[in-house]
């Protein structure tokens, strides 16, 4: 969400004003990040239950999906089309993984796991949008803090999560 809202500032910081046309592609690819994270986890789950062949099959289907969509969209949409295809291909792969896991392991009810982080992301995105014109590094710090505060208010973290946080913080404090 932060990359999506602050895309213009990131492009300006890293590449300068001559790349402002790439902001839309960057925003589209920002959507890829959380999808890729959960897709990677579900792919690793397939490997952990000894279904590497099924995982490879899914990646192959997603690659073919990607190629065909790129052929269809790049001629008319250029790099924006390629960005869209990247996101759609990862969504396709993620859903394949979920289907495979449901067939070979157990049904996953992931929507409950995504609701609170999604709410926290949306609230953080709104706050970042409102404060986006101040110093970028302060906005990023504010975004991280607001995200975790919302997650705490929503009681997202388990006792085990809090124990791990305390261990990590203890290493920095001591």
pLDDT bucket at 158, cuts 50 / 70 / 90: confident
- Distance (Å, whole) CA 105 – CA 158: 25
C-alpha span between 89 and 91 (Å, rounded): 5
For residue 113, the model assigns a pLDDT of 73
* Rounded Cα gap, residues 87 and 36, in angstroms: 9
How many Cβ atoms from other residues are within 10 Å of residue 89's Cβ?
23
Contact between residue 23 and residue 145 where contact means Cβ atoms under 8 Å apart: no
Over residues 141-165, the mean pLDDT reads: 91
Average pLDDT, the chain: 91
8 Å CB contact between 124 and 143: yes
pLDDT at 174: 62
For 92-117, the pLDDT digits (tens) are: 999 999 999 988 877 767 666 788 89
Helices (H), the chain: 2-5, 7-15, 23-48, 52-104, 111-131, 136-153, 159-173
pLDDT at 143 over 80: yes
Please tell me what DSSP assigns to residue 89. H
Please state, in angstroms and rounded to a whole number, the distance separating the CA atoms of residues 170 and 174: 6
- Give residue-wise pLDDT tens across range 36-66: 998 999 999 999 999 999 999 999 999 999 9
Residue identified by tokens 């402002």 is 20
Which percentage of the chain shows pLDDT scores above 70? 97
Residues 68-87 as b or e (16 or more Cβ within 10 Å = b) = ebbeebeeeeeebbbbbbbb
């Amino acid at each position: 969400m932060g990359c999506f809202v602050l895309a213009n500032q990131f492009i300006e910081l890293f590449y300068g004003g001559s790349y402002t046309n790439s902001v839309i592609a960057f925003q589209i690819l920002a959507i890829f990040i959380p999808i890729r994270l959960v897709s990677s986890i579900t792919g690793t789950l397939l490997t952990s239950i000894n279904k590497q062949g099924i995982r490879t099959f899914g990646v192959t289907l997603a690659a073919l999906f990607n190629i065909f969509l790129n052929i269809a969209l790049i001629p008319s949409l250029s790099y924006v089309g390629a960005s869209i295809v990247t996101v759609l291909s990862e969504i396709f792969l993620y859903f394949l993984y979920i289907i495979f896991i449901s067939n070979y392991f157990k049904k996953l009810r992931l929507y409950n796991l995504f609701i609170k982080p999604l709410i926290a992301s949306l609230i953080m995105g709104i706050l970042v949008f409102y404060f986006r014109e101040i110093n970028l590094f302060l906005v990023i710090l504010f975004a991280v803090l607001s995200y975790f505060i919302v997650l705490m208010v929503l009681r997202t973290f388990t006792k085990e999560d809090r124990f791990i946080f305390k261990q990590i913080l203890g290493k920095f404090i001591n």
